[in-house]
Structure 1
Amino acid sequence: MSCCRFRRFSQSQESISRFFAYLLQIRCLLLTIFAACVGGTFQYGFNLTIINAPTFFVQQFINETWSERFSSQLESWTITLLWTIIVAAFSIGGLVGALIAGPMAITFGRRNSLLLNNVFVLIGALLMGLSRTAKSFEIIIIGRFFAGINSGVGFNINPMYLGESSPKEIRGTVALSFAPFTAAGLVVGQTIGLGEVLGSEELWPLLLASCGVPALIQLILLPWCPESPRYLLIDKKDKESCMKALRRLQGNGDITAELEQMLAEQTVLESQRAKRLWELFQDRAYRWQLIIIFVLASAVDFSGNDTIYSYAVYVFRAAGISEANIPYLTIGTGCCEFITSLISNLLIDRIGRRLLLIGGYGLMAAWGICFTISLSLQDKISWMPFLSMACIFASILSFGIGPAGVSTVIPMEICDQKARPAAFMIYGSLFWINFFLVGMTFPFLVEGLGSFCYLPFLLFSTFTAIFIGFTLPETKGKTFLEISQKFHTLNFGTQLYKFLKANWREQK
């Protein structure tokens, strides 16, 4: 027995040693992941939440500024309107960022686009930080708009850059690493927004300007990381630089197989140039890729995850949670998404993309039904608010399992090098438009449907889970060329029902 235990202990020690040796080997790739994400999707999550804490102080500042200028008080509806414009400016900026991300990625490359993108958020941080000194609430609107542009560009280019810089065996894990950083941005934004940190009357301009810190970190670290090897080889036709980038990213690993796959992809795409936005819609070769992108980009918002965050405060109050403790529970919801994003990151290259998406949306639909029932009985049964709280946390956990991150990995994998920037423009634009629409219409849904306000969201989650189950091929462990061939069969090959039947058999 003692010999067996010693042998198992020795094997365990060897496994740990090999693991740390591998991490040391790919240290440049790890640095690339951190540097890209901290100034990429982290900014999206961070800017999304830092605006919540100073709501009252900014509204008070708007009224005081107006009063000093015109010696009159604003009506409450006007203050609310101006505050809504400040919040909406971020979404409008995000849409602009999504539209310029494609041309930036083609012209400047993936890494350099992320570096240039920091200009937008630094301008926004400076404007918001000086708003009280300048006695101008208008520059908060402009600052939020610039922060939104930064988030829109980062949300598109960050996963594209990481997916193109990783070996196919761990492509899902590397590309999906943006999701935990997004969730971390949410949590950090919620935390520093607490009154004990920067969410006070004196420090709220500093809170809004703090988005400049991740930008500075990226500007320091990202220049040490290589450009996307695929961009260098296929777009720039620079084989030598591509090989150097591969060696840096994979350490002492053998780059032969990876380089051969990229050269094969280059041969297929050699006579083509980067696709423009309208060319994707005209080209039959991308018909089903676009349909899948449309569904996934819509489902991220129409699954109701963002709205459940807004409803959380109401449910917490109904459960008897004191106002002082609600911000801490809200941080707990962000932590839930962070934990499940990490778990999803570890599972994506083991169990695949489809199962994570189907499971995530299926669970969200189930919890949506439970949440609707609990809201209907909220005032009739004393313990129902606690069931509603459980549904909120369970729904957020389900969203983090797959939909939160895997939905953004799919456009990167199902579109080839020449179509990828334009495909992300479509995905990003739809995401920001739907984000804005859901935010604007949700209060009316609550007013019109009451406790059944989540019915449209759970129905859309159910539809998405079924759609993915029938149409999305598994991309785990496949090269970009193999994925393209799979979609070529779907777009040009046999009838749709034959493809769906073959795809279903393959997954089983």
Structure 2
Amino acid sequence: MASQESHLTATLLTSILAAVLGSLQIGYHTGNVNAPAKIIEEFFNHTWRARHNQSMPDHSLTLLWSLSVSIKDFGALLGSLGVKYLADSYGRRNSILIVNCLSVVGACLMSASKSSKSFEVLILGRLVFGLFCGLVMSLNPLYIQEVPALFYKSASLKVQKFKVQQGSSCMCLLQVAGLDTVLGTEHYWAMMLSLSVIPALTQYLVLPFCPESPRYLLIDQGEESKAEAALLRLRGSSDKVFSELEEMKEEAAHTQSGVTIHQFFKKRRYKQPIIIVLIINLGSQLSGFNAIINYSTRMFQAKFDQAKYLTLGVGAVNVIFTLVAFFLMEKAGRRRLLLTGFISIAVCNLLMTIVDSVLHLVPELRSLQVLLVFCLISAYELGPGPISWFIAAELFDQPGRPIAMAFTSMLNWGGKFVLALLFPPLLKLCGEYIYLFFMAVALAAFSFTWIRLPETKGRTFDDIAEEFRGAEGIPLHNNIGFNTFT
């Protein structure tokens, strides 16, 4: 059965694209205050001056700007707490539709901040949008992993990589929009922040006509007839439906329906996957990438007159290497790309520390600094970036998957929040030596991945879950053939 091919029907393609619209919204608001940072900071200062008849102190402006950038990630951290309840209570598709309203409200608040002359409204809007991010970045992988042909991991993974790639492409688009020659101007920056309502409203028009996840309907709800109807719509051929239903029933026989949070963290078969997800996600988010995405314009401004165009280059490199990872993922495997990415990030951070330390003596090295930034981004997008988001969906069985994705979201957004909030003051305090911390995190993640991470390439959900069930109490790296490069 594993040799069968999954066919892309019109309903399946529509379902994929409708779900991807959520990721486009997140991609659009990832770093969208980066390029017009100075203009928005001046808006903060002008608002403060109008209220208090004096300019905002520099340290207060730095802290307020850090809060404005990081509050979205804090909102996402809070939002991730509701993933399990929504996914289990309303299903994958309906939950995405429910949380989509947060995106609309958040974008409207951000857009209204300028006309209301209130930076508090902008911060509130980013907080509300962050709630959407934390929910949809877990709900989307759940839906996307379960809607394609359920037992062909390559097909499922390509859908997930497509989602990540589209988010990166949209991030590059927003950086173009954020230029002061486009929408990142004093007059139009607020309108730029509202453009994400277009994919949000489009999702409301398309997603209601897509089927619910058949896996959720059968395994979680026990509704075989509805699952069969959803499969028939997705596959377009009844001869494929029967075999997939039988495979799902077999998996359901190995799992219990419903896992509480307490049970999730207590079950022995989940302990190894939980530790793997913890290390990979924290290693990914605290290795320096998010500091560059959020603050690259500020990092470059001290050394380049056209820093905003270098920031655009950051977005372009991000998209290019996401595409490279798209084609390499299934050939090279998750483990190899993670190892390559983490060690490359560590080397880049070490070299950035050295270059920044001697930059005042050799100003010509500033071009090398830009090259190292681009290399770090490419290393992140080759493995740690995309894989950290979906690896939990591959390592856990059906009952544990919603909590695992919520856990992943909390780790990702929590790491982003901490880094976005603390990077500006830490950069002032530690200078170039802040990159040594990023290097240490990347090396720790590399070491753990080398020792513990199994390869999931080409394996079904039930196959991986069975491996963990059979490996309870057994170190995975001693299980021959499971934790290898091949």
Same fold (TM over 0.5): yes
1:55 aligned partner, one-letter code: A
Tell me how far apart the structure 2 counterparts of residues 343 and 27 of structure 1 sit (CA, whole Å). Answer: 27
Q: Does 1:165 align with 2:147?
A: yes
Question: 5 Å matches for 1:84-483?
Answer: 84-167=66-149, 168=152, 169-252=154-237, 254-269=240-255, 272-309=256-293, 312-313=296-297, 316-317=300-301, 321-323=304-306, 326-483=307-464
2:188 aligned partner, one-letter code: L
1:400 aligned partner, one-letter code: E
Tell me how far apart the structure 1 counterparts of residues 471 and 360 of structure 2 sit (CA, whole Å). Answer: 51
Secondary structure of 1:502 counterpart: coil
Task: Tell me which structure has the larger Cα radius of gyration.
Answer: 1
Residue deviations 1:439-472 (CA, integer Å, cap 9, x gap): 2333354345433321121222122122122212
Would the aligned equivalents of 1:315 and 1:389 in 2 still touch at CA under 8 Å?
Answer: no
Tell me how far apart the structure 2 counterparts of residues 66 and 363 of structure 1 sit (CA, whole Å). Answer: 43
How far the C-alpha of 1:382 sits from its partner, in A, is: 4.5
Tell me how far apart the structure 1 counterparts of residues 56 and 485 of structure 2 sit (CA, whole Å). Answer: 61
Tell me how far apart the structure 2 counterparts of residues 505 and 136 of structure 1 sit (CA, whole Å). Answer: 54
Residues 1:391 and 1:210: Cα distance change in structure 2 (over 3 Å): same
* Equivalent of residue 83 in structure 1, options 36, 41, 65: 65
Q: 2:478 is matched with which residue?
A: 500
Residues 1:387 and 1:55: Cα distance change in structure 2 (over 3 Å): closer
Q: Does 1:46 align with 2:28?
A: yes
Q: Which has the higher contact order (CA 8 A, sep 6+)?
A: 2
Tell me how far apart the structure 1 counterparts of residues 67 and 452 of structure 2 sit (CA, whole Å). Answer: 39
Percent of aligned pairs with the same amino acid: 32
Residue deviations 1:64-119 (CA, integer Å, cap 9, x gap): 44455565654444444443333232122111111112211111111111111111
Tell me how far apart the structure 2 counterparts of residues 460 and 303 of structure 1 sit (CA, whole Å). Answer: 6
Gaps of at least 5 residues in structure 2 are none
Task: Using structure 1 for the length normalisation, give the TM-score.
Answer: 0.87
How far the C-alpha of 1:172 sits from its partner, in A, is: 1.5
1:502 aligned partner, one-letter code: I
How far the C-alpha of 1:311 sits from its partner, in A, is: 6.2
Tell me how far apart the structure 2 counterparts of residues 474 and 238 of structure 1 sit (CA, whole Å). Answer: 33
Would the aligned equivalents of 1:199 and 1:207 in 2 still touch at CA under 8 Å?
Answer: yes
Tell me how far apart the structure 1 counterparts of residues 234 and 92 of structure 2 sit (CA, whole Å). Answer: 15
How far the C-alpha of 1:227 sits from its partner, in A, is: 1.3
Residues 1:503 and 1:375: Cα distance change in structure 2 (over 3 Å): farther
Residues 1:349 and 1:52: Cα distance change in structure 2 (over 3 Å): same
Would the aligned equivalents of 1:315 and 1:388 in 2 still touch at CA under 8 Å?
Answer: no
Would the aligned equivalents of 1:180 and 1:342 in 2 still touch at CA under 8 Å?
Answer: yes
Would the aligned equivalents of 2:297 and 2:310 in 1 still touch at CA under 8 Å?
Answer: no
Moved more, 93-102 or 346-355: 346-355
Gaps of at least 5 residues in structure 1 are 1-21
Tell me how far apart the structure 2 counterparts of residues 392 and 56 of structure 1 sit (CA, whole Å). Answer: 21
Tell me how far apart the structure 2 counterparts of residues 221 and 277 of structure 1 sit (CA, whole Å). Answer: 33
1:173 aligned partner, one-letter code: K
Q: 1:491 is matched with which residue?
A: 472
Moved more, 126-135 or 201-210: 126-135
2:419 aligned partner, one-letter code: V
Would the aligned equivalents of 2:19 and 2:140 in 1 still touch at CA under 8 Å?
Answer: yes
How far the C-alpha of 1:393 sits from its partner, in A, is: 0.9
